Amino acid sequence: MKKIRLKLQERSYDIIVGRGAAGELSGIVKKMRFSGPIAVITDRVVEKKTRSVYKKALDAVTNELTVITVPSGEKSKSVDMFRDVSQKLANRTKGHKPLIVALGGGVIGDLAGFVASSYRRGVPYIQVPTTLLAQVDSSVGGKVGIDLPEAKNLVGAFYQPKAVLVDTGFLPTLPARHIRNGMAEVIKYGIIKKRSFFALLEDEMERLLELKSERLDDVVYECLRIKARLVEKDERDDKDLRIALNFGHTLGHGIEAAAEYTNRYNHGECVSIGMVMASDIAVRLGMFSEKGLLKVKRLLKKAGLPVSVKGIGLKDILRTHRFDKKFVSGTNRFVLPTGIGKVEVVEDIPGILIRTVLREYVS
């Protein structure tokens, strides 16, 4: 197993990566010297699949274990579910500050992390991500929150976990569509930060998708290393560094909200289309080469990801993408590639250019 230390002074924590990492839960709880109730927040699908693992690890360190399950899917990242989980926590851990274990995909990490950030003005939590997307991205960095009908992640906080246990042994039960979903974020790291990593993905993609690649753990580790270093330099996303991680997310979030968080398009699929659109905008602004755009599209297609939208109105995407948090004082901000491995933040992209590119990819 490998370890990354994410250094943020008193908020520093370890990210442990590899098969069996979830088994480290008991050791982490002991190291924290935590003795109160432990609440596992998870979804119904994940709970069944991981019961033997989390119970074994946590029964060894507490006799006050409570499990709160929510329906699986993006709709659980809602105000209603936030209230429901917080109330269950209050009723089951009466008078005590619990330790929360966020066990699941990005939906659970964001929801449970947000509950942890606000319940009793903040309780400790540990991320145990079970989807590829959560393992390479959402479990690290402390962005937690819920969606509003107006837009994704509109209510939230920065709240760092005490540890992140990235157990790649959870991945074989994940449906293929969700492996591809996570692969969109994996590819994102290559485009924003590391050309050689992008090249590795070009070579290994088929084997990675089948989870047969010997490089799988290295790939997950590399994504986390890139993310950890960006978070260390720009924890609160206000220095134009961490924002690179939002490459493809401006229009991607617009598509996701326009699709009303149904499973027509999942997060990674929207990010995939958003990355193509952002790359095309960069080409039209003379910042990125046609060849680069083709390479991006080719790798996304190789990963089985969509590169255009069907069945969602252009107007709906335009309307919803304006709620994106990267808009400051009504001015848009896009992360655009200038090469494979390098991005820049560009403000005030003309609306006509955005519409032209959307027309190209929306049918």
Give the residues lining the site for ligand GLY (CB under 6 A). Answer: 137, 141, 143, 237, 242, 245-246
Closest residue by Cα to residue 70 from 62, 61, 80? 80
The amino acid at residue 335 is V
Give the residue with the Cβ less far from ligand NAD, 34 or 82.
Answer: 82
The site partner of 107 among ligand NAD, ligand GLY, none (C-beta below 5 to 8 Å per kind) is: ligand NAD
Per-residue tokens: 125 = 């939590």
How many other CB atoms are there within 10 angstroms of residue 275's CB atom? 29
Are 300 and 276 a contacting pair, CB within 8 Å?
A: yes
Q: 201, 214, 225, 174: which is closest to 2 by C-alpha?
A: 225
Count of C-beta atoms within a 10 Å radius of residue 9: 6
Q: How far is the CB of 351 from ligand NAD (least distance, A)?
A: 25
Q: How far is the CB of 4 from ligand NAD (least distance, A)?
A: 16
Q: Which does 252 bind (CB under 5 to 8 A by kind): ligand NAD, ligand GLY, none?
A: none
Burial of 323 per CB tally in 10 Å (0-12, 13-18, 19+): middle
Other CB atoms closer than 10 Å to residue 186's CB: what's the count? Answer: 25
| Beta carbon nearer to ligand NAD, 80 or 360 | 80
Q: Which residues bind ligand NAD (CB under 6 A)?
A: 43, 45-46, 49, 72-74, 77, 104-108, 110, 130-131, 133-134, 137-138, 141, 143, 152-153, 170, 173-174, 178, 181, 266-267
**Phi, psi of 53, deg, nearest 5:** -70, -50
d(CA 241, CA 136): 18
The site partner of 45 among ligand NAD, ligand GLY, none (C-beta below 5 to 8 Å per kind) is: ligand NAD
Q: Please say which residue, 43 or 235, places its beta carbon nearer to ligand NAD.
A: 43
Q: What's the min distance (Å) between Cβ of 142 and ligand GLY?
A: 8
Of ligand NAD, ligand GLY, none, which one does residue 242 interact with (CB within 5 to 8 Å by kind)?
A: ligand GLY
For ligand NAD, the closer of residues 72 and 213 by Cβ is: 72
Neighbours of 326 (CB within 10 A): 18
DSSP strand pairing (2-6 vs 13-17): antiparallel
Q: Which does 193 bind (CB under 5 to 8 A by kind): ligand NAD, ligand GLY, none?
A: none
User: Which one of ligand NAD, ligand GLY, none interacts with residue 27, CB within 5 to 8 A by kind?
Assistant: none
In the complex, the smallest distance separating the C-beta of residue 141 from ligand GLY, rounded to whole angstroms, is 4
Nearer Cβ to ligand GLY (124/268): 268
Instruction: Return the number of other C-beta atoms located less than 10 Å from residue 143's C-beta.
Output: 23
Please report how close the Cβ of residue 50 comes to ligand NAD at its closest, in angstroms: 7
The partner residues of 334 in beta bridges, in order of sequence, read 346
